[in-house]
Copies of this chain bind each other. A is one copy, B any other.
Amino acid sequence: MTIVTHINPETLHSSPAFTQVVRVSTTADLVYVGGQNGVDSAGVVVGPDLASQTRQALANLRTCLAAAGAGPEHVVKWTILIREGESLEEGFAAFGQEWGMRPDPPVITSAFVSGLAVPGALVEIEAVAAVPAVGAAD
């Protein structure tokens, strides 16, 4: 059973980096990962640069997903907040290095913001994932 349907309408711009819309079945549990920053296990921001922080934030996010019984393939939605003045290209490159490109990427909302709660943080990445409910057919 398909729990997520990824759709890119033909008349809209498309990109290998995101899906335009996803439909999640009632048979899926939802996993909400709180906004992850590029911090280590002590909560200290790693590296001073966006690339290092992006890789660390995604590694943390992967750990969160795994702990909830989900994998990268289950992410249906990203929210990516980058500190103003940082380079989107640098962030995207680091994202690709750490996360890779997948056949059915999530939908994305992103923005440059004035700042983040963790001092020194340049990026915050939130995810929603959809996972087959325990006991349900995949």
Contact = CB atoms under 8 A, between A and B. Distances in A.
A42 B21 contact: no
Oligomer: number of copies: 3
Interface stretch (A47-55, A65-73, A96-104): A65-73
Contacts of A93: none
Interface in A86-138: 88, 106-117, 124, 126, 128, 131, 133, 136
A8 to B, nearest CB: 8
Contact of A7 (B26, B67, B88, B109): B67
Contacts of A39: 13
Interface residues of A, number: 64
Contact of A21 (B31, B40, B76, B111): B31
Given A12-B63, A15-B43, A20-B33, 13 more contacts: A9-B63, A11-B63, A12-B41, A13-B41, A18-B34, A21-B32, A23-B30, A24-B31, A25-B133, A35-B110, A81-B109, A111-B116, A113-B114
21 contacts: A11-B41, A11-B63, A12-B41, A20-B64, A21-B31, A21-B32, A21-B33, A21-B64, A21-B67, A23-B29, A23-B30, A23-B31, A23-B69, A24-B29, A24-B32, A33-B107, A35-B109, A35-B110, A81-B111, A84-B114, A110-B124
